[in-house]
Amino acid sequence: MQSPKDFFKPLAVGAPAPVREVPVGPSRMIHFFPGSNAKMVSKAPAMAARVDILLVNMEDGVPADDKEAARSGLVEVAAMDLGQAQLWTRVNSLDSPWGLDDITTAVLEAGSNLDVIMIPKVEGPEDIHYVDRLLAQLEAKAGLEAPILVHAILETARGVANVEAICGASPRMQGLSLGPADLAANRRMKTTRVGGGHPGYLVRADPGDDADAPRQTFQQDLWHYTVARMVDACVMHGILPFYGPFGDIADTTACEDQFRNAYLLGCVGAWSLHPVQIDIAKKVFTPDASEIDHAQRVVDAMGDGTGALMIDGKMEDDASVKQCLVVLALAQQLAERDGVAP
Ligand code: GLV
Ligand code: MG
């Protein structure tokens, strides 16, 4: 057991002190592209202008022969001017032949411009402890002034079972993403889709008087339980939950629905795997004008925020003011980022 007094001490001599609060900047989309794709690397500044977070991917999706090229791509992108966008990378998993070299290169050659390292297939707090110490050693060696934060992907059953411990394993923990593809495989779920629903996962209305009449069915959200659990674990530890990938790029409607479910449950953003998903994430994870107007009316009407009153036939009180303040704070932050009036 570690004493709470020691939790914020650097884990290596010369490493920067851990952060006490996770920075909560605009995070509506984590836009993925492979670091091995030279054309995309050259377009990184243009992509960065459209997104909140740009992520150089080295893990799944990058063929084994291109892993070294993906590392070099990260180093190149880190030397570019990405404006206000955060720069993240996803390294290969800790048990892979590439994970150690990915992390080493990321910190020693890109570390001063890298905000977050995403670690896939995290199974328990021991994975975070390993990365925490390794990053401290590398940060000390690189002479970094600010610590690099860690984002874990929740994509194994053991990871889900240990989710609270993972979130609280280090002050470096920035957030979690749901990884529905690996998680489905690991759990032996019988969906072959990358995120999203499945027509077979449904509930059916009871039969009526006519036993032969068709009965309505309602498709259910396969990911509800895991996203809800992830949100609670993250909020408990002051870190940020994200929905992960939606693989059916052409089905922009279902992607928007999946993103919105995550937004409504408390996620701050989702992954975009294609430019079309950048706009979906921006739309969904930015409070819409009618929501902002309503929230402002409630806050204005509630004075010091205590008591209860009726607006448009609905009861508002101390708790609903807090709900409205969440929406207004997010709207204000995003309006500043987008350069528009809130
Ligand atoms: C993402 O990495 C996933 O496995 O869904
Ligand atoms: Mg995965």
- Quote the tokens at residue 119: 């670690």
Q: Using an 8 Å Cβ cutoff, are 79 and 73 in contact?
A: no
- All structural domains of the chain with their residue ranges: 4-285, 287-342
Ligand nearest to the CA of 32: 1
Identify the nearest ligand to the CA of 244 by its number: 1
Q: Is 173 in the pocket of ligand 1 (CB under 6 A)?
A: no
What's the distance, CA 36 to chain centroid? 23
One digit per residue, the tens of pLDDT, for the chain of length 342 reads 889 899 999 999 999 999 999 999 999 999 999 999 999 999 999 999 999 999 999 999 999 999 999 999 999 999 999 999 999 999 999 999 999 999 999 999 999 999 999 999 999 999 999 999 999 999 999 999 999 999 999 999 999 999 999 999 999 999 999 999 999 999 999 999 999 999 999 999 999 999 899 999 999 999 999 999 999 999 999 999 999 999 999 999 999 999 999 999 999 999 999 999 999 999 999 999 999 999 999 999 999 999 999 999 999 999 999 999 999 999 999 999 998 876
Instruction: List Cβ<8 Å contacts ≥24 apart for 252-261.
Output: 252/276, 252/277, 252/280, 254/196, 254/197, 255/196, 255/280, 256/280, 256/283, 256/284, 258/195, 258/196, 258/197, 258/221, 258/223, 259/284, 259/285, 260/284, 261/221, 261/223, 261/224, 261/227
**C-beta neighbour count of 317 within 10 angstroms:** 14
Quote the ligand 1 centre to 244 CA distance (angstroms).
Answer: 7
- The owner of tokens 């090229």 is 69
- Residue among 91, 119, 154, 182 whose CB has most ligand 1 atoms within 8 A, to mutate: 182
Q: Confirm or reject: Cβ of 245 under 6 Å from ligand 1.
A: yes
Establish whether residue 244 lines the binding site of ligand 1, counting it when its CB lies within 6 angstroms of any ligand atom. Answer: yes
Q: Which ligand is nearest to the CA of 177?
A: 1
| d(C-alpha 137, C-alpha 104), whole Å | 10
- For residue 167, give both structure tokens: 């979130």
CA-closest residue to ligand 1 atom 1: 179
Q: Would the CB of 182 count as within 6 Å of ligand 1? A: yes
For residue 181, give the ligand 1 atom closest to its CA.
5
| Assigned token pair, 27 | 């995070």
Is the domain spanning 4-285 CATH 3.20.20.60? The answer is: yes
Determine if ligand 1 sits within 6 Å of the CB of residue 119. no
What integer pLDDT is reported at residue 290 of this predicted model? 96
Does residue 180 have its Cβ closer than 6 Å to ligand 1?
A: yes
Instruction: Kindly state if the Cβ of 153 falls inside 6 Å of ligand 1.
Output: yes
Report the alpha-carbon angle 241-276-86, nearest 5: 45
For the Cβ of 155 lying below 6 angstroms from any atom of ligand 1, the answer is: yes
Among 27, 245, 213, 206, residue whose Cα is nearest residue 116: 27
Q: How far apart are CA 68 and CA 92, in angstroms?
A: 11
Q: How far is the CA of 203 from the centre of ligand 2 (A)?
A: 29
139 vs 12: CA distance, rounded Å: 9
Ligand nearest to the CA of 245: 1
CA of 294 to the centre of ligand 2 (A): 39
Nearest CA to ligand 1 atom 2: 179
Is 41:73 a contact under the CB 8 Å cutoff? yes
CA distance 278 to 136: 33
Cβ atoms of 143 and 117 closer than 8 Å? no
